[in-house]
Structure 1
Amino acid sequence: MTLAQRLKAPHLRLILKIAETGQLQIAASTLAMSQPAASRILAEIEAGTGSPLFVRHPKGMEPTPVGEAFVKHARAILAEFQNLESEVEGISLGNAGEVRVGSVTGPAVGCLVPAILEIKKKAPGIELTVEVGPSAALVRGLGEGRFDFVIGRLPPDQDSRAYRVLPARLEVVSLVVRTSHPLAGRRQVPLADVFDYDCVIQERGTPIRQAVENAFHAAGLSMPPRITNTSSLLVMLAMVERSDAIATLSEEVAGLLTRDSIGARLVPLDLAQTITVSPYFIIQNRMQQLTRAASRVLEEILSRL
């Protein structure tokens, strides 16, 4: 066995304590160890290194150069042991650890961010990673083990039996325009008045796009003829700010972007009808056990739904 294999934490503590006190008997007593046992441990270490760790003087023991090296590394190793113990305890209690969450845009803003801010107050040792994307990509990532859980919708091609699905809530669509838009400030705007403007809408097949299409069809209208399809929020905002285009956003995102407190140059239209999207859910992989930290984050989110 090598020296590293033979050394244990009590051995390192003994070396440190001898260096601190200069007395083998005091060091042994402090560590609740008999002096013969301490002498034997020190002799074994010195035999293994082929060099004395301490010089014995009538008034005490002083580290040799080899002893100084032992003291330096023993201090660092024991500090890492202490860090490891604290980290393991934090993880066990759910006060530390990494949590990975995927979410569609609306709930990421509406309930995930507030939950994260609260978790950071209660357990700052938890490190969170948040990825925002479409449900299909998020659920695929969940199956690959990249997320602890996701907030979204279960794609129709997925077997729901493979997942634990917790109910969340409906998502409402807002139509957002710049403050100087002709429809801004009007009350109870009908969808027919939206028809003649350029629209910036999510791509076909997305939940918000489907909800908007259904709303127009229910009102006896076809979709507006001038549409820009994009999943990029930045593209949407740039077009709305620079033209009379109308963007479709989740209510949570629209609320964030139209707040007076951030000097917003955008406003939501006061529509005559409410446009709702199919509900989103919290989705977990049945084969994946949540860590305590992930459970804490999940509980915080559920408390806000």
Structure 2
Amino acid sequence: MPDPRSDRFVRSHLKVRQLVLLVELGRHGSILHAAQAANLTQPAASKLLAELEHALGMKLFDRLPRGVAPTDYGAVMIRRAGAALAELDAGHQEVMELSSGLSGRVAIGAVLTPATTLLPRAVVALKARQPRVHVTITVDTSKPMIQQLQNGELDLVIGRVLDSESAAQLSFEPLSEEPHRIIVRAGHPLAGRSDLSLQELARQAWILPPGGSILRDRLTALFLSAGLDQPHQAVETLSLPVVTSLLGRSDMVVALPEELIQPYRDAGLLTVLDFDLGLRMDAYGIVTRRGHQLSPGAELMLDCLREEAARRVL
């Protein structure tokens, strides 16, 4: 049941300008620069912030010699203000699209494997039903995309929920696990060997995902637990075209799901080494904001994702 005190706060005290100011304070860390970005004078911005803190009964920002820094309460309000403004912007977009005869839009983020396999099939299915839905796709690691989802910048994410604090605010529908294997070019010096060791693999030139990604963390733990140094020769990228081009032109190695490179394997361009990394990634799935009403375009995208995922299982 909604808290009537919260409803009174929103109706009686909260102003859209305060939401804009909160977001800009989070971006700039300065009342002066936030005021300029929000088209306010510095005194007006200071007054709006003081009114908001008074209404909440909480200090939202620590005043520092050079700027301001959000308190824990301020960080919550910045995040919620960003999501609220994104919702208002999405509402405006929907109205404009409806009035011009378009049929909405959906912004979706995906980690690499479903971005290359499941998502394209779902987008084709969506376009067959509703060609005018505008689809925006982001490919990244889970953590930044979940943040974008919470901020209202993405409608859906196909990825993983890694933060226990965020889990309560999100809904997660598991889709698939991602066993990873070592992928190399066809004709690689290590191809066809059955006596490979992790020590020998650690000496190879690697293509690695960016630091902070779950795969990078697990590869690091794998080498460390075996008492090995991290690969000294490495290139960091998430781009599959870059990965496949590097593999084809060198003796580099990479850890990827077999499903991701199957077309290249079928074409005789890439192969899988006979070595079990023992790497099992957590299942990825469809992530949405709990209790959030999706737009018609995003709802249709969700339906297509579920249908294509079920078709893969059959």
TM-score bracket relative to the smaller structure: 0.5 to 0.7
- Structure 1, unaligned runs of 5 or more: 1-82, 89-95
Establish whether residue 281 from structure 1 lines up as the match of residue 288 from structure 2. Answer: no
What's the RMSD between the two structures over aligned residues?
3.0
Aligned runs of 1:5-20 on 2, under 5 Å? none
- Picking from 209, 229, 234, the partner of 1:228 is 234
| Secondary structure at the counterpart of residue 122 of structure 2 | helix
- How far did 1:147 drift? 1.2
Q: Which amino acid aligns with 1:154?
A: V
What is the identity percentage for the equivalent residue pairs of Structure 1 and Structure 2?
Answer: 25
- How far did 1:87 drift? 4.0
Per-residue CA deviations over 1:110-138 (Å, capped at 9, x if unaligned) read 21112112222233232211110121221
Q: Which amino acid aligns with 1:98?
A: R
| Secondary structure at the counterpart of residue 177 of structure 2 | strand
Establish whether residue 298 from structure 1 lines up as the match of residue 302 from structure 2. Answer: yes
Per-residue CA deviations over 1:60-94 (Å, capped at 9, x if unaligned) read xxxxxxxxxxxxxxxxxxxxxxx968948xxxxxx
Structure 1 contact 163–283 (Cα < 8 Å) conserved: yes
**What's the counterpart of residue 98 of structure 1?**
105
Higher alpha-carbon Rg: 1
* Cα separation, partners in 2 of 1:250 and 1:272, compared to 1, 3 Å: closer
* Cα separation, partners in 2 of 1:141 and 1:176, compared to 1, 3 Å: same
In the alignment, the residues of structure 2 paired with residue 188 and residue 85 of structure 1 have an alpha-carbon distance, to the nearest angstrom, of 65
- Picking from 265, 269, 273, the partner of 1:265 is 269
Q: Which amino acid aligns with 2:290?
A: R
In the alignment, the residues of structure 2 paired with residue 231 and residue 225 of structure 1 have an alpha-carbon distance, to the nearest angstrom, of 15
| Secondary structure at the counterpart of residue 258 of structure 1 | helix
In the alignment, the residues of structure 2 paired with residue 186 and residue 122 of structure 1 have an alpha-carbon distance, to the nearest angstrom, of 49
**What's the counterpart of residue 34 of structure 1?**
none
Q: Output the TM-score relative to the length of structure 2.
A: 0.58
Structure 1 contact 191–272 (Cα < 8 Å) conserved: no
- Picking from 129, 134, 139, the partner of 2:141 is 134
In the alignment, the residues of structure 2 paired with residue 168 and residue 246 of structure 1 have an alpha-carbon distance, to the nearest angstrom, of 27
**What's the counterpart of residue 13 of structure 1?**
none
**What's the counterpart of residue 146 of structure 1?**
153
In the alignment, the residues of structure 2 paired with residue 110 and residue 235 of structure 1 have an alpha-carbon distance, to the nearest angstrom, of 17
**What's the counterpart of residue 115 of structure 1?**
122
- Picking from 189, 209, 215, the partner of 1:202 is 209
* Cα separation, partners in 2 of 1:235 and 1:125, compared to 1, 3 Å: closer
* Cα separation, partners in 2 of 1:84 and 1:181, compared to 1, 3 Å: closer
In the alignment, the residues of structure 2 paired with residue 211 and residue 256 of structure 1 have an alpha-carbon distance, to the nearest angstrom, of 26
Structure 1 contact 135–152 (Cα < 8 Å) conserved: yes
Establish whether residue 169 from structure 1 lines up as the match of residue 160 from structure 2. Answer: no
* Cα separation, partners in 2 of 1:217 and 1:286, compared to 1, 3 Å: same
The total of aligned residue pairs comes to: 212
Structure 1 contact 198–244 (Cα < 8 Å) conserved: yes
Structure 2 contact 127–133 (Cα < 8 Å) conserved: yes
Structure 1 contact 174–269 (Cα < 8 Å) conserved: yes
Q: Which amino acid aligns with 1:277?
A: M
Q: Which amino acid aligns with 1:243?
A: S
Q: Output the TM-score relative to the length of structure 1.
A: 0.60
